[in-house]
């Protein structure tokens, strides 16, 4: 990406929370920024990469990104790291020791929690990491605070020589608001200062750092009591007061504009005495936090009388429609039931279900179509666009839990076979970026332990699900500039897979793909099938001539629908009774030629050869007119 011209000082810009954090990182004089793509955090580094005067990179995983940022902070420079909530699980091995070493230059980790599960496999609460690692947590409530808190986080980090967690959520990451911004202030790092007792965390050195960590935590708690980030907003209705943080503060203010509120910007360590004093000024004190009762549990342990998750749900956003009836019941108010709509005179027409699906001509379509045709197999899946293979029409994914887990699960399925599974074929499906993120170790484990697993490595040259970001598998860096490209065939061979067990295939060539997969699953040793076509949404993909359906030749067999391509539409459904008495369902189709990219997947299973290039039909009709 080309560097952007920064806006002048004190400009007001419309920014998402992600964009606001990126701007603040640049203005704070950060020298190194690293991340691995993950919604809802992805845009932070994408935007940072457009700013001048700092180094940015897509790392191969979150742990590596944190280690890169920490290395810069050890050298006295300011550094930044971003990830989604599950990414911090990956990075936690490094984090839990950084809490002992501390940092020299400021180091901020922005963690985006996916409250409401918009695009994640779980809904964990990253505030736990502040308590677990004994590091401060800042929680902005909107884009302006995301900007301000990021800058404050660097001052806090350097003052206490600690990592600071900036806890974002999907609501803040993606919602835009006006943000008043400034200019970059250069920060000159002091350089790396040798100090093995601090930076080399062998047991003897680590033991000496533990008391320093607890001392720092105590000082941070004292800071929380006086911090301007933790403040009380007076209210006229003292029947109920709220202790809250992050976007939940906005929901509280909307739902109960007259109620007193204690807003926590520095939410860990919690200011117990400030909260105790606030709770004493209201009839009822309610802790509103997304999603776990972390603060509530701590405050109850302090003997502070309050309500929390006994009223409010432990998952999802705490929006006004959730807050109002819950608090109304606490106050003994009559809570209105949802209004019953009058019955319709005519029942509504059934709506065709629209489940998540892959893109038109996605190279994964052929893979899952082929897997759906095989029998007696168990398919271990992974995180990416190809996770959608579990759905209709393929139903070709049996398990998926976390990045890179397909490999370990597949080996476990092989080694843990029950009597009913002894003849089943085990297939693991993983994408290129996910393989580089955490899958390589799993494949090495399969090879080392002689697992009977066939691996489908789907190389689409992009981190597809998060927006097509570059990775070491496509030969471009975060700026789109040329970079070394991984040769996956050589890589898997280097991990121990035999030469004859490694195949590179075109996923649009269904017969070849089917034969290769069928043959390799019969071999009782590790094998890898690499598909080699790019994501249809990146610059590497080249669109071909679109196809269309000759209506008179379409028999309604529906074979083309089994590919799952969303460019194919059902125009009519019918049923016929064969002479044998068997009823056959037919589905007559058309192809939306305006979006068809000409991949040819649907042509191959079409029995009556009713699918042809659109220009051929135009030529036929022209000849008929003459």
Phi, psi of 152 (to 5 degrees): -65, -30
Tens digit of each residue's pLDDT (9 = 90 or more) over 171-197: 999 999 999 999 999 998 889 999 999
How confident is residue 342, by pLDDT bands cut at 50, 70 and 90?
low
Phi-psi region at 174: left, alpha or beta (left = phi > 0; alpha = psi -120 to 50): alpha
Domains and CATH numbers, the chain: 11-189+200-226 (3.40.50.970), 230-330 (3.40.50.920), 365-531 (3.40.50.970), 547-625 (no CATH)
Ramachandran bin of 376, using left for φ above 0, alpha for ψ from -120 to 50, beta for the remaining angles: left
Tokens 């947590």 correspond to 137
Number of H helices, E strands in the chain: 20, 22
Please check the confidence at residue 512 and state whether its pLDDT lies above 60: yes
- Model confidence at 335, pLDDT cuts 50, 70, 90, reads confident
pLDDT exceeds cutoff 70 at 306: yes
Which of 20-24, 113-117, 286-290, 514-518 has the weakest average pLDDT? Answer: 113-117
* Binding site feature residues: 554, 557, 560, 565, 596, 599, 602, 606
More confident residue, 471 or 31: 31
pLDDT digit string, tens, across residues 554-581: 988 889 999 999 999 888 888 877 777 7
Beta bridge partners of 83: 111
Per DSSP, the three-state class of 418 is coil
Quick one: pLDDT at residue 2?
45
| pLDDT above 70: percentage of residues in the chain | 94
Integer angstrom CA distances of residue 291 from 116, 122, 295:
9, 12, 11
Is it the case that residue 354 has pLDDT exceeding 90? no
- At 315-329, the pLDDT tens digits run 999 999 999 999 999
* Residue 418, pLDDT score: 85
With cut-offs at 50, 70 and 90, classify the pLDDT of residue 96. Answer: very high
User: How does DSSP assign 471-525, residue by residue?
Assistant: -TTTTB-TTS-B-----HHHHHHHTT--GGGEEEE-TT-HHHHHHHHHHHHTSSS
Binding site for [4Fe-4S] cluster, residues?
554, 557, 560, 565, 596, 599, 602, 606
Residue 393 preceded by cis peptide, ω within 30: yes
Q: Which two tokens stand for residue 184?
A: 């970059």
pLDDT band with cut points at 50, 70 and 90 for residue 621: low
Encoded tokens for 547: 């196809």
Residues 6+ apart with CB under 8 A from 336: 325
pLDDT value for 614:
86
Question: What pLDDT score does 490 carry?
Answer: 97
- Mean pLDDT rounded to a whole number for the chain: 91
- Answer whether 55's CB lies under 8 Å from 479's CB: no
| Token pair for 32 | 């190194």
pLDDT digits (tens, 9 = 90+) for 359-379: 999 999 999 999 999 999 999
More confident residue, 594 or 339: 594
Contact between 99 and 135 under an 8 Å Cβ cutoff? The reply is yes
Tokens found for residue 619:
């030529």
Q: Is the pLDDT of residue 158 over 80?
A: yes
Q: How far apart are CA 271 and CA 584, in angstroms?
A: 69
Exposed e or buried b per residue across 310-322, where buried means at least 16 C-beta atoms within 10 angstroms of its C-beta: ebbeeeebbbeeb
User: Which token pair is 584?
Assistant: 């056959």
Number of Cα atoms under 13 Å in the Cβ half of residue 98: 32
Q: Which residues 6+ apart lie within 8 Å of 598 measured at CB?
A: 361, 543, 544, 545, 546, 547, 613
Q: Is the pLDDT of residue 617 over 90?
A: no
pLDDT exceeds 50 at position 386: yes
Asked if residues 22 and 47 have their Cβ atoms less than 8 Å apart, the reply is yes
pLDDT (0 to 100) of residue 81: 97
pTM score: 0.87
Q: How far is CA 214 from CA 106, 226, 294, in A?
A: 19, 19, 19
The HSE-up count of residue 400 (CA atoms within 13 Å, CB side) is: 23
- Is the four-CA dihedral 321, 323, 329, 331 of positive or negative sign? negative
Count of C-beta atoms within a 10 Å radius of residue 132:
12
On the CB side of 611, CA atoms within 13 Å amount to 28
Place 343 in a pLDDT band, splitting at 50, 70 and 90: low
- DSSP track, 319-351: -HHHHHHHHHHHTTPPPPPPPPPPPPSSPPPPP
Lowest mean pLDDT among 131-135, 412-416, 472-476: 472-476
380-405 mean pLDDT: 91
Quickly list H helices, 41-141: 42-48, 62-74, 85-101, 127-133
C-beta neighbour count of 116 within 10 angstroms: 17
């Amino acid at each position: 990406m080309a560097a952007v011209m920064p806006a002048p000082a004190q400009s007001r810009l419309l920014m998402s929370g992600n964009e606001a954090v990126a701007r603040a990182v640049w203005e704070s004089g950060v020298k190194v920024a690293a991340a691995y793509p993950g919604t809802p955090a992805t845009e932070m580094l994408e935007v940072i990469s457009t700013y001048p005067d700092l180094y940015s990179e897509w790392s191969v995983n979150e742990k590596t990104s944190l280690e890169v940022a920490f290395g810069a902070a050890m050298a006295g420079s300011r550094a930044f790291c971003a990830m989604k909530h599950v990414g911090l699980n990956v990075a936690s091995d490094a984090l839990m020791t950084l809490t002992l070493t501390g940092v020299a230059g400021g180091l901020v980790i922005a963690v985006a929690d996916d409250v409401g599960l918009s695009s994640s496999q779980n809904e964990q609460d990253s505030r736990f990491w502040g308590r677990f690692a004994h590091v401060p947590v800042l929680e902005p409530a909107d884009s302006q605070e995301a900007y301000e808190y990021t800058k404050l986080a660097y001052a806090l980090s350097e003052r206490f020589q600690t990592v600071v967690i900036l806890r974002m959520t999907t609501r803040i990451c993606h919602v835009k608001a006006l943000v008043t911004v400034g200019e970059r202030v250069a920060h000159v790092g002091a350089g790396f200062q040798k100090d093995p007792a601090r930076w080399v965390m062998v047991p003897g050195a680590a033991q000496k750092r533990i008391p320093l960590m607890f001392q720092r935590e105590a000082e941070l708690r004292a800071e929380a009591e006086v911090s301007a980030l933790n403040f009380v907003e007076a209210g006229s209705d003292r029947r109920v007061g709220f202790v809250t943080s992050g976007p939940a503060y906005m929901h509280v203010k909307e739902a109960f504009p007259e109620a007193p509120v204690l807003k926590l910007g520095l939410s860990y360590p919690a200011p117990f005495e400030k909260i105790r004093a606030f709770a004493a000024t209201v009839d009822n004190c309610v802790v509103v936090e997304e999603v776990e009762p972390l603060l509530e549990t701590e405050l109850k342990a302090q003997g502070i009388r309050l309500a929390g998750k006994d009223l409010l749900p432990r998952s999802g956003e705490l929006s006004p429609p959730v807050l109002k009836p819950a608090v109304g019941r606490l106050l003994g108010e009559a809570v209105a039931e949802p209004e019953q709509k009058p019955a319709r005179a005519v029942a509504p027409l059934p709506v065709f279900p629209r489940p998540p699906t892959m893109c038109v001509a996605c190279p994964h379509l052929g893979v899952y179509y082929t897997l759906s045709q095989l029998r007696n197999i168990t398919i271990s899946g992974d995180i990416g666009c190809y996770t959608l293979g579990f759905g209709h029409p393929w139903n070709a994914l049996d398990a998926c839990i976390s990045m890179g887990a397909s490999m370990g699960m597949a080996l476990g399925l092989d080694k843990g076979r029950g009597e009913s599974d002894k003849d089943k074929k085990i297939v693991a499906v993983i994408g290129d970026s996910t393989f580089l993120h955490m899958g390589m170790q799993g494949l090495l484990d399969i090879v080392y332990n002689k697992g009977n697993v066939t691996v489908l490595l789907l190389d689409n040259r992009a981190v597809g699900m998060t927006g097509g970001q570059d990775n070491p598998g496509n030969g471009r860096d975060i700026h789109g500039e040329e970079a070394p490209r991984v040769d996956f065939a050589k890589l898997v061979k280097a991990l121990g897979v035999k030469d004859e067990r490694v195949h590179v295939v075109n996923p649009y060539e269904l017969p070849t793909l089917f034969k290769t997969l069928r043959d390799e699953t019969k071999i009782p040793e590790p094998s890898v099938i690499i598909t080699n076509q790019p994501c249809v949404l990146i610059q590497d993909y080249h669109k071909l001539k679109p196809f269309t359906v000759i209506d008179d030749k379409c028999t309604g067999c529906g074979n083309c629908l089994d590919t799952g391509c969303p460019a194919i539409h059902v125009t009519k459904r019918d049923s016929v009774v064969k002479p044998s008495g068997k009823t056959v369902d037919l589905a007559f189709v058309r192809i939306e030629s305006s979006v068809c990219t000409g991949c040819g997947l649907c042509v191959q299973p079409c029995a009556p050869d009713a699918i042809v290039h659109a220009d051929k039909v135009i030529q036929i009709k022209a000849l008929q007119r003459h």
